[in-house]
């Protein structure tokens, strides 16, 4: 299938990329046998703007997008956020080929009002919307012709290449890691500060992007992950409904024991023995110390999380789910995160 994948491929960062969510989807589509053309909207806007000022290149980027549609003739267009590409351009792409199907993929939290509006704004011109939040919050978007589905954050065999669950402890000099920003009063920073205050000196806890430490990106971030035994998956808000940032895939996919707040509801997605869960600052501290002193158990749980992630949440599986749902094709496999397969709060499959 001919797929046009529009997103932020971060060309102008020249290797110092922040996240690789769009790139993972691209890799998964290619491995599934699709002919994929990527369209990096922010970069094309900048390249076509006077003095490379992106905001002045928006109109040009939309012209280039339609030019790409005319020349490439996609059967499926997947738009990842892509605020620069207008609804008018998507509707014109449909005029070029009335049979083309259009998907919109959104990986931001629904506690951001601006993001909720971003999804509403796309409903009029796409066939299917994919969101990294599940459950009843998606009902608000089922108001028109577009279908709505939950998708998890993908892991990718060419990006999450480490398996720290199998490395000897001597190669893992970072006992606990947190990477993420936050303002004073942010709940997740309170967890970080509590650990900083109470963890013993023999537990090396590194944090980046917060508490006076600059963030790390690209190769430096990858090398940091390669040295890490355990890490915190803390969201700015633990809003439930399976929402989490892509951090969880980066950690679990590399065999790093991942600590997850129970309020996220992610235990329904990953299962009990594939991550470490907590409800409070004291329970988090106690659980970190438990695994710090029981390394074989740490390895076992981290390994189970990595295996399960690649079995069910690979970019190959998630990209094919998007293709099959959007193109209204028969499901080629059971997707454990789909509404009919996902366990409910009692552990039973949905009806």
The CATH number for 43's domain is: 3.40.50.2000
- Does 339 map to a domain? no
- Does 349 map to a domain? no
- Does 135 map to a domain? yes
Same domain, yes or no, for 252 and 320? no
Same domain, yes or no, for 88 and 45? yes
Do residues 240 and 263 touch, judged by C-beta distance below 8 A?
Answer: yes
Same domain, yes or no, for 322 and 299? no
- At 200 the pLDDT is 96
Q: Is 122 exposed, middle or buried (0-12, 13-18, 19+ CB in 10 A)?
A: buried
- At 147 the pLDDT is 95
Same domain, yes or no, for 84 and 215? no
- Does 11 map to a domain? yes
> Parallel, antiparallel, or unpaired: how do β-strands 2-7 and 76-80 relate?
parallel
pLDDT tens by residue, the chain, 351 residues: 999 999 999 999 898 887 789 999 999 999 999 999 999 999 999 999 888 888 899 999 999 999 999 999 999 999 999 999 999 999 999 999 999 999 999 999 999 999 999 999 999 999 999 999 999 999 999 987 899 999 999 999 999 999 999 999 899 999 999 999 877 678 889 999 999 999 999 999 999 998 778 999 999 999 999 999 999 999 989 989 999 999 999 999 999 999 999 999 999 999 999 999 999 999 999 999 999 999 999 999 999 999 999 999 999 999 999 999 999 999 999 999 997 556 554 344 432
Domain count, the chain: 2
Same domain, yes or no, for 108 and 134? yes
- At 22 the pLDDT is 94
- At 192 the pLDDT is 94
Same domain, yes or no, for 14 and 127? yes
Closest CA to 165 of 261, 10, 291: 291
Q: Is 269 exposed, middle or buried (0-12, 13-18, 19+ CB in 10 A)?
A: buried
Domain that holds residue 103: 2-154+314-326
- Does 306 map to a domain? yes
Closest CA to 24 of 326, 324, 244, 319: 319
- Does 331 map to a domain? no
Compute the CA torsion angle 343, 138, 19, 170 (nearest 10 deg): -20
Same domain, yes or no, for 168 and 308? yes
Same domain, yes or no, for 210 and 269? yes
What CA–CA distance (Å, rounded) separates 100 from 94? 6
Same domain, yes or no, for 186 and 256? yes
Same domain, yes or no, for 86 and 184? no
**3-state secondary structure labels for all residues of the chain:** CEEEEEECCCHHHCCCCCCCHHHHHHHHHHHCCCEEEEEEHHHHHHHCCHHHCHHHHHHHHHHHHHHHHHHHCCCEEEEECCCCCCHHHHHHHHHHCCCCEEEEEECCCCCCHHHHHHHHHHCCCCCEEEECCCCHHHHHHCCCCCEEEECCCCECCCCCCCCHHHCCHHHCCEEEEEECCCCCCCHHHHHHHHHHHHCCCCCCEEEECCCCCCCCCHHHHHHHHCCEEEEEECCCCCCCCCCCCCHHHHHHCCCCEEEEEHHHCCHHHHCHHHCEEECCHHHHHHHHHHHHCCHHHHHHHHHHHHHHHHHHCEHHHHHHHHHHHHCCCCCCCCCCCCCCCCECCCCCECC
pLDDT tens digits, 126-158 = 999 999 999 999 999 998 789 999 999 999 999
The neighbour count for residue 134, using CB atoms within 10 Å, is: 22
Same domain, yes or no, for 178 and 298? yes
The neighbour count for residue 21, using CB atoms within 10 Å, is: 22
- Does 143 map to a domain? yes
Same domain, yes or no, for 193 and 249? yes
- Does 35 map to a domain? yes
């Amino acid at each position: 299938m001919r797929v046009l994948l529009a997103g932020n491929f971060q060309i102008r960062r020249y290797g110092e990329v922040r996240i690789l969510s769009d790139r993972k989807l691209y890799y998964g589509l290619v491995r599934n046998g699709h002919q994929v053309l990527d369209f990096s909207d922010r970069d094309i806007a900048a390249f076509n703007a006077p003095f490379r000022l992106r905001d002045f290149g928006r109109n040009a980027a939309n012209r280039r997008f339609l030019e790409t549609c005319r020349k490439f003739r996609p059967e499926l267009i997947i738009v990842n956020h892509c605020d620069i590409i207008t609804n008018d351009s998507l509707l014109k792409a449909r005029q070029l080929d009335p049979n083309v199907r259009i998907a919109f993929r959104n990986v931001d939290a629904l506690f951001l009002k601006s993001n909720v509006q971003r999804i509403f704004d796309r409903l009029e011109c796409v066939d299917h919307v994919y969101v990294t939040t599940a459950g009843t919050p998606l009902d608000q978007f089922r108001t028109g012709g577009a279908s709505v589905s939950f998708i998890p954050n993908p892991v990718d065999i060419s990006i999450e290449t480490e398996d720290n669950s199998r490395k000897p402890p001597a190669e893992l000099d970072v006992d606990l890691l947190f990477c993420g920003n936050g303002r004073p009063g942010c709940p997740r920073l309170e967890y970080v500060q509590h650990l900083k205050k109470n963890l013993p000196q023999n537990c090396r806890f590194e944090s980046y992007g917060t508490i006076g430490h600059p963030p790390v990106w690209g190769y430096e971030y990858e090398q940091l992950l390669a040295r890490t035994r355990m890490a915190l998956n803390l969201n700015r808000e633990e809003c439930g409904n399976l929402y989490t940032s892509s951090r969880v895939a980066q950690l679990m996919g590399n065999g790093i024991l991942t600590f997850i707040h129970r309020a996220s509801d992610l235990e329904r997605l990953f299962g009990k023995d594939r991550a470490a869960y907590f409800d409070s600052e004291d329970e988090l501290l106690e659980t970190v110390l438990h695994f710090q002193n029981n390394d074989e158990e740490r390895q076992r749980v981290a390994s189970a999380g990595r295996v399960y992630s690649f079995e069910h949440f690979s970019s190959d599986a998630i990209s094919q789910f998007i293709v099959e749902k959007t193109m209204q094709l028969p499901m080629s496999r059971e997707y454990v995160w789909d509404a009919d397969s996902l366990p409910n709060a009692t552990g039973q499959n949905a009806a």
